[in-house]
């Protein structure tokens, strides 16, 4: 069963371009299924990041231990330090 990685990313000037540049790094990761980043609406202060993975391990033990994650962090570090906490969600009700 696929899982959803969820994070709220604070809005920072310039971060959209950096995310666009970093996106292929996560997309190339084994077990990656899809990624969506939604802009805040109304009075929102954060982007909503939803990444679908084949399993939690594909994100946590795969992507996060890879060289690609080092580059991902290098691109996004100045916007998100520390990297926002992620949560995992599974089966819908």
Name residues whose C-beta falls within 8 Å of residue 1's C-beta, 6 or more positions apart in sequence.
Answer: 90, 91
Q: How far apart are CA 65 and CA 46, in angstroms?
A: 26
Residue 52 binds its own copies (CB under 8 A): no
The length of the chain is 93
Q: Assign 13 to helix, strand or coil.
A: coil
Residue 28 binds its own copies (CB under 8 A): no
Residue 91 binds its own copies (CB under 8 A): yes
Q: Output the smallest distance, CB 28 to its own copies, in A.
A: 18
Q: Which residues bind its own copies (CB under 8 A)?
A: 3-4, 6, 8, 16, 19-20, 36-44, 46-48, 56, 87-93
């Amino acid at each position: 069963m696929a899982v959803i990685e969820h994070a709220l990313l604070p809005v920072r000037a310039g971060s959209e371009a950096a995310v666009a540049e970093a996106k292929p790094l996560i997309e190339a990761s084994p077990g990656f299924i899809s990624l969506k980043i939604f802009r805040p609406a109304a009075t929102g202060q954060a982007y909503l990041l939803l990444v679908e993975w084949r399993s939690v391990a594909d994100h946590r033990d795969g992507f996060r231990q890879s060289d690609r994650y080092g580059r991902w962090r290098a691109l996004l570090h100045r916007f998100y330090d520390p990297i926002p906490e992620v949560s995992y969600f599974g089966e819908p009700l």
